[in-house]
């Protein structure tokens, strides 16, 4: 009998919790940081006061209260699945969330009644979505996270321990 | 008033866009630098007006939001704009030396976005123009004279 075949192997493994598969590491520090960043983005939307006509000097329309409310709701919906975006006011009275990494560009524009979404990977076809501005769902954030913030390949198990009773 | 410059905007000309704080991220242009609610993006014919006059005209633009400040000038070649499939036309009715860039792409309605396919098309054009333009932050934004890098 070979030496290897006489090894008595046992292992214990904790399967990866699918609920914890997200763009962020499942550690408290990162979650706190994410919360702070999301709050910061929410505050920036809240404080955006482009309520005046011609706020940009080039004839922009005011950003409506409805668009702001929809954007704040969307920030909370997306918070668990993607990093906080850069928030940009648009001359047509809407707000845009933008993400840009070496992997591509993500864009979510939110208006009074509708949203418009795309993720354009650095290579390959764009992913598009449209819908009601008050029904933005977290899967949009998962798409952004998955395409623009890919994680290194994760182990199938969080811990794996070999016990060799040898030899 | 007499406007003694050609109506035709030639390929070899450069045009300049006055840039405000909502159009830059630190020292980088945002794609909305070349976007307005109507398909006539205001630019100045730098080849005829020169940097000093462009700066004076930029300071005459008064945003409705006092927090939005003039930040600098972005210059782009007319040929580059046309190669990107946007158009440049003289608009001397605004003032002599004024021109418009038009993208010829459907623009969004008031208060709502374009549908995603059209939005992506518009954004790709705007990103291309942003890439082709050279943004020069104004080191002295309140001065009547241009003290930035040569345009």
DSSP labels for A21-60?
Answer: -SSS-SSHHHHHHHHHHHHHHHHHHHH----STTTTSS-P
Would you tell me how many other CB atoms lie within 10 Å of the CB of residue B27?
10
User: Contact A128/B117, CB-based, under 8 Å?
Assistant: yes
User: Once rounded to an integer, what is the mean pLDDT over residues A62-72?
Assistant: 95
User: Contact B111/A115, CB-based, under 8 Å?
Assistant: no
pLDDT at A164: 58
The answer to whether residues A109 and A115 touch, using CB atoms and an 8 Å cutoff, is yes
B143 pLDDT higher than 70: yes
- Tell me, yes or no, if A114 comes closer than 8 A to chain B by beta carbon: yes
Q: Tokens for B141?
A: 């934004």
* Secondary structure class of A124 (helix, strand, coil): coil
User: Residue A160 pairs with which residues in a beta bridge?
Assistant: A13
Assembly ipTM? 0.93
Percent of chain A with pLDDT over 70: 63
Structure letter (DSSP) for residue B143:
S
How long a stretch of residues is chain A? 167
Q: Which of residues 9-48 of A touch B (CB under 8 A)?
A: none
A3 pLDDT higher than 80: no
Lowest mean pLDDT among A91-95, A138-142, A155-159: A155-159
The answer to whether residues B23 and B32 touch, using CB atoms and an 8 Å cutoff, is yes
Query: What totals of helices (H) and strands (E) does chain B contain, helices first?
Result: 3, 8
In chain B the beta strands, taken as DSSP E runs, fall at 14-20, 24-25, 28-29, 41-45, 70-77, 87-90, 98-102, 134-137
CA dist., res. A86 & res. A136, Å (int): 17
CA dist., res. B103 & res. B105, Å (int): 5
Q: What is the pLDDT of residues A79-133, one digit of tens each?
A: 989 999 999 999 999 999 999 999 999 999 999 999 999 999 999 999 999 999 9
Q: How far apart are the first and last CA of chain B?
A: 27
Q: What is the pLDDT of residues B16-34, one digit of tens each?
A: 999 999 999 988 999 999 9
Query: Of the candidates A54, A113, A120, which has its C-beta nearest B64's C-beta?
Result: A54
pLDDT at B120: 97
Q: Tokens for B131?
A: 């890439």
Among candidates B16, B100, B14, which has minimal Cα distance to B54?
B16
User: Once rounded to an integer, what is the mean pLDDT over residues A143-166?
Assistant: 70
DSSP A126-165: PEEEEEETT---HHHHHHHHHHHSPPPPPPSEEEEEEEEE
Q: Tokens for A92?
A: 């047509």
Q: What is the pLDDT of residues B73-122, one digit of tens each?
A: 999 999 999 999 999 999 999 999 999 999 999 999 999 999 999 999 99
A160 pLDDT higher than 60: no
pTM score, whole prediction: 0.82
A19 pLDDT higher than 80: no
Would you tell me how many other CB atoms lie within 10 Å of the CB of residue A127?
18
The answer to whether residues B122 and B103 touch, using CB atoms and an 8 Å cutoff, is yes
Q: Tokens for B46?
A: 């730098």
Q: Tokens for B103?
A: 């993208």
Q: Tokens for B14?
A: 């450069």
The distance of A156 to chain B (nearest Cα, Å) reads 36
User: Mean pLDDT across chain A, nearest whole number?
Assistant: 79
Mutate to test the interface with B, among A51, A57, A124 (most CBs of B within 10 A): A57
Name the one residue in this structure whose structure tokens are 């493994």: A13
Lowest mean pLDDT among B47-56, B125-134, B142-151: B142-151
User: Contact B22/A56, CB-based, under 8 Å?
Assistant: yes
Among candidates B5, B19, B1, which has minimal Cα distance to B98?
B5
DSSP A69-116: HHHHHHHHHHTTTSPPPEEEE-TTS-EEEEEEETTEEEEEEE-SSEEE
Residue spans per domain, chain A: 18-152
């Amino acid at each position: 009998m070979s030496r290897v075949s006489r090894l008595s192997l046992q292992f214990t493994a904790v399967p990866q919790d699918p609920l914890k598969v997200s763009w962020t590491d499942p550690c408290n520090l990162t979650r706190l940081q994410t919360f702070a960043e999301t709050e910061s983005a929410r505050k920036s939307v809240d404080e955006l006061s482009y309520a005046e006509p011609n706020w940009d000097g080039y004839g922009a329309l005011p950003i409506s209260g409805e668009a702001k409310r929809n954007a704040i709701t969307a920030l909370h919906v997306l918070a668990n699945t993607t990093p906080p975006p850069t928030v940009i006011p648009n001359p047509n009275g809407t707000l845009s969330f933008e993400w840009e990494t070496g992997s591509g560009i993500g864009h979510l524009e939110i208006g009074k009644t509708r949203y418009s979404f795309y993720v354009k990977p650095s290579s390959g076809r764009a992913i598009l979505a449209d819908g009601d501005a008050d029904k933005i769902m977290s899967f949009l954030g998962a798409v952004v996270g998955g395409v623009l913030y890919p994680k290194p390949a994760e182990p199938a198990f969080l811990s794996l321990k070999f016990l060799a009773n040898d030899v | 008033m007499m406007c003694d410059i050609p109506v035709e905007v030639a390929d070899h000309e450069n045009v300049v866009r006055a840039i405000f704080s909502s159009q830059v991220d630190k020292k980088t242009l945002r794609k909305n630098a070349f976007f307005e609610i109507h398909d006539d993006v205001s630019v100045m014919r730098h080849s005829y007006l020169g940097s000093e006059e462009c700066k004076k005209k930029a300071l005459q633009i008064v945003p409705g939001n006092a927090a939005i400040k003039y930040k600098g000038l972005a210059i782009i070649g007319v040929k580059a704009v046309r190669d990107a499939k946007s158009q440049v036309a003289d608009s001397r009715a605004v003032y002599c030396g004024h021109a418009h860039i038009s993208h010829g792409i459907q623009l969004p309605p008031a208060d709502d976005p374009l549908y995603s396919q059209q939005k992506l098309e518009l954004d790709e054009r705007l990103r291309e123009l942003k890439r082709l333009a050279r943004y020069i932050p104004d080191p002295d934004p309140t001065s009547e004279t241009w003290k930035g890098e040569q345009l």
